[in-house]
Structure 1
Amino acid sequence: MTDPEYMDQAEALLRRVESGCDRINDESDADIDSQRVGGMVTLTFRNGTQIIVNLQKPLHEVWLAAKAGGFHYKFDGARWLDTKGQGEFFENLARYASEQAGQPLKFG
């Protein structure tokens, strides 16, 4: 994957995270504060916990930090998959965000 291809896919992922937060806030009382600075999106939940999604340009990865731990994802041409075989980015984001929000949430 070239640097421009990575950036296209990574930017699309960040936009999808942001739009997912907007939709969740419109459809529920989860009240997730989403803030973006450059290649990083910080999700802050009502209880003060956070999930941070940031781009790792030199590695062509996306990193996710949550209460559950830190995770690295690479694009396989169709999806962002955990580099240790622990699943797909948006499925995992939904699981970790649901745990931190105390209610079921879906990104996508």
Structure 2
Amino acid sequence: MSETEFLSISDDIFRRIENALDDAGLDVDCVISGNVLEIEFDDGAKVVVNRHVPNQELWIAAKSGGFHFARRDGQWIAARDGAEFGATLSQVVSAAAGETFQFSV
């Protein structure tokens, strides 16, 4: 995929994450700045989603660790364990919020 395509796809994912957080009614601050989407919770905990343009990967950083996802067969899959991006984001946001959150790409 071209860099332009990657940026367009990841822009859409960032917007969808922001909308999903709003729809879930979670009390978070969500800020997109360049290649980073930062989700901050009331207690100061953060989940950061970063797009790494050179490798065309999406990264998630959370208290539980860091996760890297590459696009394979239309899905964002972690090389380390085969986890899917939406499932991982759902888990780390749910853990930080203390409430169930669901996101799918």
Do they superpose with TM above 0.5? yes
> Out of 9, 14, 28, which is 1:32 matched to?
28
- More relative contact order, 1 or 2 (CA 8 Å, 6+ apart): 1
SS at match of 1:75: strand
Taking structure 1 as the reference length, the TM-score comes to 0.88
- Determine whether 1:97 maps to 2:97: no
Q: How far is 1:61 from its partner?
A: 0.6
Partners of 1:36 and 1:21 lie apart in 2 by 13
* Higher helix proportion (structure 1 or 2): 1
Q: Which runs of 5+ in 2 are unaligned?
A: none
Q: Which runs of 5+ in 1 are unaligned?
A: none
Q: How far is 1:36 from its partner?
A: 0.8
Taking structure 2 as the reference length, the TM-score comes to 0.90
Partners of 1:57 and 1:50 lie apart in 2 by 22
> Out of 22, 26, 43, which is 2:39 matched to?
43
Partners of 1:12 and 1:75 lie apart in 2 by 14
What number of residue pairs does the alignment pair up?
A: 104
* Higher strand proportion (structure 1 or 2): 2
| Deviation per residue, 1:34-79 (Å, 9 max, x gap) | 1111121100112210000011001111111001101101111411
Instruction: Calculate percent identity across the aligned residue pairs.
Output: 30
